[in-house]
Amino acid sequence: MLYICATPIGNLKDITLRALEVLALSDIILCEDTRVSKNLLTHHHIKYKRLVALHEHNENEITEKVLNWLGEGLILTQISDAGTPGISDPGARLCSKVLAHGFKISPIPGACAYLSLLSVAGVHTQSLFYGFLPSNRSGRHKILNTWRSVDYAVCIYEAPHRILACVRDIFECLGPKCEIIMGRELTKQFETIKKCNIEELLEFIEKDPNQQRGELVLILYPTSKKADALMDSLSATQINTLNLLLQELPPKKAVTLTHKIVGGNKDILYNYVINLK
């Protein structure tokens, strides 16, 4: 059996009872940085049997060994430095090989940085997890431009030394009104959660260098761009008529009448009204 086990993203208490049990009974714990994992195991008084480093540079090589160990009937657990393995962390190649060889694999769920932020984000739309954007500007722009008219939120991870450049690129590609929530140092002493538009976030982190430190997750919801694009497709006459009728009539009637008098797609007219609210 191979367990894929989540560990804390900052606060060492954020670990499940099941994770502690599984770590204690494992014959081998596969971890990214043995120093980081030793710290966690020692903190929880776990007398582990054996730690083996598995990181992005040796994942293929260690996976071959894992297949042999599983064949011998050993219990293995993979952890990463923080959060859930396989989420912008090593583990995908290991899991696909282990599954392909027919061994049992089981998740021990727990902390994950983007899910933690999403849980407090108050985002009503569906969301997608992207992970790290490319480290160069043109690569970031290429990806960000594909999100110009999406109507779902996107979760991204970013390194502290790139956060300013990344937020500037979001500003350039998705516009100042793109809404965003930043989670910094979640579950740690200097936890910061900031929900605003991209223009305000840029000002916030430019003014305070502390906001460019630590671990960061961002959730963007570029819906305003979409609403702007929709509104752009309405003529001034349609907007003026609708605004006028809205002063006297409920939204549905105002939309129907505007459509009858000066035309315009009813859905877009209705979206305009929702956006006004």
Q: Which residues bind ligand SAM (CB under 6 A)?
A: 9-10, 80, 82-84, 87-89, 112-114, 157-159, 183-188, 215-217
Burial pattern 39-48, b for ≥16 Cβ within 10 A else e, equals ebbeeeebeb
Whose structure tokens read 């100042």? 176
Residue among 130 and 270 whose Cβ is closer to ligand SAM: 130
Pick 204 or 270: Cβ nearer ligand SAM: 204
Give Cβ neighbours of residue 48 (< 8 Å, ≥ 6 apart).
23, 24, 26, 29, 41
Give the 3-state secondary structure of residue 97.
Answer: helix
The nearest distance, CB 147 to ligand SAM, in angstroms, is 18
Question: Based on CB atoms, which residue is closest to ligand SAM, 84 or 211?
Answer: 84
Q: How far is the CB of 8 from ligand SAM (least distance, A)?
A: 9
Minimum CB separation from ligand SAM for residue 154, in Å?
14
Residue closest to ligand SAM, measured at CB: 83
**Distance, CA of 237 to CA of 41 (rounded, Å):** 67
Q: What is the DSSP string of 73-93?
A: T--EEE--SSB-TTSSSS-HH
* Structure letter (DSSP) for residue 212: G
Nearest-5° angle of CA 126, CA 132, CA 136? 130
Least Å distance, CB 187 to ligand SAM, is: 6
- With respect to ligand SAM, which residue has the nearer C-beta, 31 or 234? 31
Residue closer to ligand SAM (CB basis): 162 or 225: 162
- Closest to 5 in 3D by CA, of 94, 79, 74, 69: 79
Q: Which is nearer to ligand SAM, 1 or 87 (CB)?
A: 87
Alpha helix locations (H) across the chain? 17-25, 34-43, 59-71, 92-100, 113-121, 137-145, 163-174, 198-207, 223-232, 236-246, 251-262, 266-276
Least Cβ distance, residue 88 to ligand SAM (angstroms)? 4
> Which is closer to ligand SAM, CB of 41 or CB of 113?
113
Smallest separation (angstroms) from ligand SAM to the CB of 6: 7
Side by side, the strands of the sheet bearing 51-53 are 51-53, 28-31, 76-78, 2-5, 105-108
Instruction: Tell me how far, at minimum, the Cβ of 225 lies from ligand SAM, in Å.
Output: 24
